């Protein structure tokens, strides 16, 4: 029996997959629990339309991420920090400060969770790099400079 999955089911398939299962498994478990629906002509047409719309939305999101990535490519962000004369910073520089600096200097709103700093902690003055993961397919490297205030 063909069914369309409504949720990810381990060892069976992912959401919106069309799978063949035994009729008893579908009638007694998948359909009553709301994990799947029967794959008749109407439901297959609805599924294909939903997949088209999802692909269109995904394409739009990727294009926006690529546009933002091209704008961010090659920028250098300057971050001020209090430091000792030896060049050690009091505290450390993290992705929150980088996101704030990008917002203030270039007026791009980047989620701090999408910024990955190379290395564990930035505790000295200097120039470093970070990766911004705008989408699972779009990643941009930026440089940032930590200077003493």
pTM for the full model? Answer: 0.66
Domains of the chain, first to last: 2-62 (3.40.5.10), 69-148 (3.10.430.100)
Residues of the chain by 3-state class (helix, strand, coil), percent to 5: 35, 35, 30
Task: Report the distance separating Cα 114 and Cα 112, nearest Å.
Answer: 5
- What pLDDT sits at residue 60? 92
**How far is residue 47 from each of residues 9, 32, 40, 89, measured CA to CA in Å?**
18, 20, 11, 55
Q: What is the pLDDT of residue 136?
A: 80
Confidence label for 149 from pLDDT (cuts 50, 70 and 90):
confident
pLDDT tens-digit readout, 89-127: 998 899 999 999 999 999 999 999 999 988 777 889 999
Which three-class secondary structure string do you get for 10-71? CCCECCCCEEECCHHHHHHHHCCCCCEEECCHHHHHHHHHHHHHHHHHHHHHHHHHHHHHHH
């Amino acid at each position: 029996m063909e069914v369309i999955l409504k949720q990810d089911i381990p060892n069976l398939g992912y959401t919106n997959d069309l799978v063949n299962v035994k009729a008893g498994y579908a009638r007694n478990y998948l359909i009553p629990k709301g994990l799947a629906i029967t794959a008749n002509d109407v439901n297959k047409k609805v599924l294909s339309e939903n997949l088209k719309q999802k692909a269109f939305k995904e394409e739009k999101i990727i294009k926006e991420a690529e546009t933002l990535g091209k704008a961010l490519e090659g920028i250098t962000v300057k971050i001020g920090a209090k430091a000792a004369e030896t060049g050690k910073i009091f505290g450390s520089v993290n992705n929150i400060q980088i996101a704030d600096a990008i917002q203030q200097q270039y007026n791009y709103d980047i989620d701090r969770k999408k910024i990955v700093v190379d290395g564990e902690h930035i505790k000295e003055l200097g120039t470093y790099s970070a990766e911004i993961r705008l989408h699972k397919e779009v990643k941009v490297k930026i440089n940032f400079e930590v200077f003493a205030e």
